[in-house]
Structure 1
């Protein structure tokens, strides 16, 4: 008998995409992962070797229906050309490949970033807040969101904040080197643990599959935006770091507090609701590694 569980294609199936795919494959979904190096995919995800930035359709493109598409590309170069190739050209290619095969997913989730907001005064931000990014990355992501929303596939943009977790330990490494952040002016940052980022995407897909109505945008953040100096001081204490680096701590400009109220109203809740919970778990995992 044919499977009644949905099929999912994850285009740009990296760290977060693989965690998402594993969750849904364990629930019986048929999951395909498209990436250049498919050897890195977990065994439960069916490999589709291909380059999002190339116009040629991957030779092992899935046959049959694709019920859901998650587009979560990562630029191969971090300049405007790289962002346009990954987010705009890549999305156009995938939408075109779907059309070539007569496939129309029930929904597309486009993984975006809270970097589309340019607020700098610690304002609270939600999905209705003005998007006025100062840099090319936010502007390109907004263009790609619009491309997704204007396609003939029902779509939602999921704007994730700073993702941390296993293998994403830039801040921890900065703190280990002795970096500090001045308390004034206070600059708010927003985070989400890698597992919660994948969990939110899985939650939205399952909600759609149940017939729930999704909005066209969700913010993927934890419950507690926090000043960066507070996060760094907490990590210094947990790590026992007493030295101070001579170099200045480098960070992106901006200060805003992002709300996850819309996703929570749908029933989602982060496993790691604060940086304290998330980093405590991460540091505990490090201590138990062989």
Structure 2
């Protein structure tokens, strides 16, 4: 559900095993990308009354990758879906966000950290988690929540931003951020579906946080582009978008020991440096 880039990566893992995967999307572009990959695709818009009766959801394994609607503090899309599903799916894996932890002032945290979302987008994700847990408690449905930070891959790096020379926060003021490679996240999603215990929650990060400024610098060096100019927080108020500024208000370092130990996974790219070293910059366009 919400079969975008990560959904197609997860689906490919099933295709490699000869297992059928169905992707639900809203846009024609996503529909065509899924069809080109050989997926059984369905198109509909939950915001406009499209429902899910076309699926044989009894005993299905459902990945909910559909983001909440862009406004408000509740995830109306997921709540609408769960209201119609009763106890049909065998298991639901939800992608949430590490933003539900709010600002932790750079501390190392794990899954026991209390939720204190600040940004509206994080509040919607926290509501999605609550909705899924309410559904699970009512119908004894099996669920897994993956709290995901920034997702990257060599085909989704901020190259255009770097080419435009947009500024970043100076290194001394830059907050800690966390990330995971898209292929590792797809693998984690599938593994969570297969072995995660009932009602499990994991921080799906690579466990090697760095500052956002360091991230942009590493990508620039990898791509052979100039490092972005650095500005103070005061200067950033005028130079950066409201969305980027909201990310700069939160700082946290997130461990992944529970993810690695309980799911028994080994990440292909345990750090940004490992991922960039694995791919020659000549593959970039």
TM-score between the two structures when normalised by the length of structure 2: 0.81
Q: Which moved more, 1:18-27 or 1:161-170?
A: 161-170
Q: Deviations over 1:86-116 (max 9, x none)?
A: xx222133224434xxx62221111100011
Q: Please state whether the residue corresponding to 1:222 is helix, strand or coil.
A: coil
Alignment correspondent of 1:137: 121
Which residues of structure 1 form unaligned runs of 5+? 1-10
Which residues of structure 2 form unaligned runs of 5+? none
Alignment correspondent of 1:287: 282
CA distance in 1, matches of 2:283, 2:172: 36
Pairing 1:15–2:36 present:
no
Alpha-carbon distance, 1:129 to partner: 0.3
Q: Deviations over 1:162-186 (max 9, x none)?
A: 011244223x333333344412124
Alignment correspondent of 1:265: 261
Is the Cα–Cα contact under 8 Å of residues 105 and 251 in structure 2 kept in the other structure?
yes
CA gap 1:156/1:243 in 2 versus in 1, 3 angstroms: closer
CA gap 1:139/1:289 in 2 versus in 1, 3 angstroms: closer
Alignment correspondent of 2:156: 168
Which one of the candidate residues 189, 192, 204 is aligned to 2:180? 192
Alpha-carbon distance, 1:190 to partner: 0.3
CA gap 1:146/1:91 in 2 versus in 1, 3 angstroms: same
Alignment correspondent of 2:102: 118
Alignment correspondent of 2:32: 39
Q: Deviations over 1:45-99 (max 9, x none)?
A: 211222232334256x1236342111111356x4x24x74xxx222133224434
CA distance in 1, matches of 2:154, 2:67: 17
Q: Please state whether the residue corresponding to 1:132 is helix, strand or coil.
A: coil
CA distance in 2, matches of 1:237, 1:21: 32
CA gap 1:200/1:246 in 2 versus in 1, 3 angstroms: closer
CA gap 1:17/1:243 in 2 versus in 1, 3 angstroms: closer
Alignment correspondent of 2:206: 222
CA distance in 1, matches of 2:98, 2:270: 17
CA gap 1:108/1:244 in 2 versus in 1, 3 angstroms: closer
Alignment correspondent of 2:85: 98
Q: Please state whether the residue corresponding to 1:62 is helix, strand or coil.
A: coil
Alpha-carbon distance, 1:215 to partner: 4.7
CA distance in 2, matches of 1:288, 1:234: 16
Q: Deviations over 1:4-51 (max 9, x none)?
A: xxxxxxx11111011101111222332111112322214442112222
